[in-house]
Amino acid sequence: MRNNDLEAASALFANLMKQTPARLNVGRTGTRPLTHEMLKLRLDHAEAVDAVYGTVPAAFLEKFGLFAVETQYRDKDHYLKRPDSGRVLTPEAEEAIVLGCVMKPQVQIVVSDGLSAKAVEDNLDDILPALTDSLEANGLAAGTPFFVTGGRVGCMDDIGRLLQPETLVLLIGERPGLVTASSMSAYMCFRPQPGRKDSDRMVISNIHRGGTPPVEAGAHIGTLLRKMIEQQVSGVKLIV
């Protein structure tokens, strides 16, 4: 390859590396990665494990006026082995929700740690105020927001069975990777109830400061919820 071609290829590759946080061109010595790359990999892996097994402090939830309930997840080890346990609320949670929440709200906001407590701590300061402003701008009224410990996406249906909201948005920590442990998703559904399918739900994923900015995600959610109510559907049937 000529020198000019090598320079052009190097410039192209350097530009590609600016577009992604993926591990590219990390190099190696012999058959093993370079020491600093291996240390960075182990650090990122440790952050991912901490995010899964971490908890959201009660003081952090109080800052947003969120009361906490639990699913039947029991503990994180059981939660990882039995995802279905995170889809069903405990009897105590059902009682707290019925007593503490507005019934049949236009929009029900729920926050859950899911697979990353860190995602909640890193994004809620930005996404929740933006979401609240977005609902107001779209003429939508929210019910009583709360936090679910050990939630899976399917817990939306159990909550919908109790509160019968027109729409529900679940802000939940995503499975952490080696790029970030702070990623959150926003799942939305029109009239969630047992029996809903994944295709009935909408999702904005990869919400974090290096992906979809949490402020932008919060601002967009209100528009989607308004369209769900106008069209009386969500998921693949919604025209956006």
The reply to whether 132 falls in a domain is: yes
- Cα(157)–Cα(144) distance, integer angstroms: 17
Can you give the pTM of this predicted structure?
A: 0.91
Residue 160 near residue 101 (C-beta atoms within 8 A): no
The reply to whether 7 falls in a domain is: no
**Which pLDDT belongs to residue 1?**
62
Tell me the C-alpha to C-alpha distance, in Å, between residue 71 and each of 49, 112, 118, 155, 159: 21, 10, 19, 8, 11
The reply to whether 38 falls in a domain is: no
Find the DSSP H helices in the chain.
Answer: 3-18, 35-53, 58-63, 76-81, 91-100, 117-137, 155-163, 214-231
Per-residue pLDDT for 2 more than 80? Answer: no
More confident of the two residues 24 and 78:
78
Count of domains observed in the chain: 1
Helix axes 214-231, 117-137, angle to 10 degrees: 50
Q: What is the pLDDT of residues 197-206, one digit of tens each?
A: 999 999 999 9
Task: Give the DSSP H/E element, type plus range, for residue 146.
Answer: strand 146-149
The reply to whether 35 falls in a domain is: no
For residue 207, the cross-strand partners are 184, 212
The reply to whether 108 falls in a domain is: yes
Helix axes 35-53, 117-137, angle to 10 degrees: 60
String of DSSP letters for 1-19:
--HHHHHHHHHHHHHHHHT
The reply to whether 26 falls in a domain is: no
Q: What percent of the chain has pLDDT over 70?
A: 100
Tell me the C-alpha to C-alpha distance, in Å, between residue 78 and each of 34, 72, 105: 36, 10, 33
- Cα(14)–Cα(7) distance, integer angstroms: 10
Calculate mean pLDDT across residues 43-71.
95
> Residue 73 is encoded by which pair of tokens?
């997840």
- Comparing 34-38, 57-61, 217-221, which segment has the lowest mean pLDDT? 34-38
CATH number of residue 100's parent domain: 3.40.50.11240
Residue listed under structure tokens 């860190």: 118
Calculate mean pLDDT across residues 180-193.
96
Is 174 one of the annotated binding-site residues?
A: yes
Q: What is the pLDDT of residues 95-115, one digit of tens each?
A: 999 999 999 999 999 999 999
- Cα(127)–Cα(235) distance, integer angstroms: 22
**Which pLDDT belongs to residue 9?**
86
The reply to whether 8 falls in a domain is: no
The reply to whether 115 falls in a domain is: yes
**Which pLDDT belongs to residue 67?**
98
- Cα(189)–Cα(156) distance, integer angstroms: 8
Residue 189 near residue 202 (C-beta atoms within 8 A): yes
Per-residue pLDDT for 24 more than 90? Answer: no
Q: Give the domain extent around 176.
A: 53-231
Per-residue pLDDT for 17 more than 90? Answer: no
Half-sphere exposure of 47 (CA within 13 A, CB side): 16
Calculate mean pLDDT across residues 182-186.
97
